[in-house]
A = this chain, B = another copy of it.
Amino acid sequence: MSERSLKFFAGSSHPALADAISALLKTPISPLDIRKFACGEIYAKPVDSVRNADVYVLQTGTQDVNRDMMELFILLDSFKRSFAAKVHVIMPYFPYARQDRVATPREPISAKLMADLLSKAGADHVITFTLHSDQEQGFFDFPVDNLNARSLFADFFKKKNIKELVVVAPDVGSAKEAQRLAKILDAELAIINKVRPKHNVSEVTHLVGNVEGKTCILYDDLVDTGGSVANAANALRKKGANKDIYLAATHAVLSADACEKLRSANFKEIVFTDTVPVAKEKMLPNMKIISVAHLLADVIHNVHTGLPLTPLINP
């Protein structure tokens, strides 16, 4: 157990989640002085002393992701210069996680870059959810706890007691994670395989696996513009899937007209977590938000007291 005091801070990206964690942790949110000047520059610092304290700071990625990151870098600099003992960053949705490899020549690996910049700015530890690929853990030179919302989704679907269930990966890259959920739910696996046969020919969507007459859960790490999951739902129906199709994803990025696409895709239910704040106007009637606050509060508590995280992650 740490003999140092725990101080919990929240950047400006996700106040609702911060409040929920604070209540569960029974620890108030320590005040920050954050301003954005007319010239666009950010000013951010803790109001009270952090000398020798263990700092936990919550910041997630939102639509204003560059501000989120810069605000966090600046906060980290102020914590470091003010003699905080350790700085733990809780970043439920890690921005730029999809840019995790050089897919075409000369691409940056922005996910690795963000990990490096966090380290340089002063982070000692990152707690995050469902990185786009598990391998990104290796992008961090310091400890990272990559939590996963899979068991939250599994609990959600187990209660429904659905027969003839198939977990569907909306593309081949998501197959591994879809397989893991399928294992827990004792479900089958199917994969959407989009191929462009020749250069000027339009993309064709194949289905690898069999969904005929079955109930499908489309499962991905995040939903961004919603295009691929909406197309996937159509493809599944064409292949004879039961019309009740579920959509489950950890990060509700929901850019552009994502909500419109999700509405017209006519899912039975859409399940997200609250790693990204979802604006009220983006909420659909069939949308459920499972909170990660309990898990994060428990993780912070165990990290601070030196207890293992494994029981929290694999209960």
**Residues in chain A within 8 A of chain B (CB atoms):** 1-5, 37-53, 62-67, 69-70, 73-75, 77-78, 80-83, 95-96, 98-103, 105-113, 116-117, 120-121, 125, 133-139, 143-144, 146, 172-173, 175-176, 179, 182-183, 186, 188-191, 193, 195-197, 206, 208-209, 224-225, 253, 255-256, 302-303, 306-310, 313-314
A-B contact pairs, 12 of them (CB 8 A): A4-B306, A5-B306, A38-B225, A41-B65, A49-B105, A51-B308, A66-B67, A77-B110, A77-B113, A78-B108, A100-B135, A102-B146
Contacts of A5 in B (CB 8 A): 306
- List 3 tightest A-B contacts by C-beta distance, closest first: A49-B308, A52-B306, A135-B135
- Neighbouring B residues of A196 by C-beta, 8 Å: 183
Residues of B within 8 A of A133 (CB): 101, 133, 135
A115 to B, closest residue via Cβ: B138
Contact across chains for B63 and A66 when beta carbons are under 8 A apart? no
Given contacts A134-B102, A138-B100, contact A121 B117 (CB under 8 A): yes
Q: Are A106 and B45 in contact (CB under 8 A)?
A: yes
Kindly list chain B residues whose C-beta atoms are within 8 Å of the C-beta of A224: 37-39
Nearest B residue to A42 via CB reads B66
Q: Are A176 and B179 in contact (CB under 8 A)?
A: no
B66 touches A40 (CB 8 A): yes
CA distance A65 to B246 in the complex (A): 41
Contacting residues, chain B, for A40 (C-beta < 8 A)? 62-66, 255
Shortest A297–chain B CB gap in Å is 17
The answer on a CB contact under 8 Å between A74 and B110 is yes
Instruction: Kindly report which residue of chain B lies nearest to residue A180, judged by CB atoms.
Output: B172
* B138, B143, B172, B253: the one within 8 Å of A139 (CB): B138
Q: Which among B112, B125, B193, B308 is the interface contact of A138 at CB below 8 angstroms?
A: B112
Q: How far is the CB of A257 from chain B (nearest CB, A)?
A: 9
Contact A81 B143 (CB under 8 A): yes
Closest to A132 in B: B135
- A189 / chain B contacts, CB cutoff of 8 Å: 172, 193, 206, 208
A106–B134 touching, CB < 8 Å = no
Further pairs besides A73-B113, A189-B206: 12, Cβ < 8 Å: A38-B224, A40-B63, A40-B64, A40-B66, A42-B66, A42-B110, A48-B308, A66-B67, A75-B108, A101-B137, A105-B309, A117-B120
In the bound complex, CA of A239 to CA of B75 (Å): 43
A104 to chain B, nearest CB (A): 8
Q: How far is the CB of A41 from chain B (nearest CB, A)?
A: 6
Contact among B37, B65, B66, B172 with A255 in the assembled complex (CB-CB below 8 Å) = B37
> A111 contacts B99, CB within 8 Å?
no
Q: Are the CB atoms of B121 and A109 closer together than 8 Å? A: no
Instruction: Known A66-B42, A96-B41, A143-B81; judge A138-B121 contact (CB<8 A).
Output: no
Q: Indicate which residue in B78, B138, B209 contacts A111 across the interface (CB closer than 8 Å).
A: B138
- Say how far A168's CB is from chain B's closest CB, in angstroms: 10
A24→B216 CA distance, assembly (Å): 54
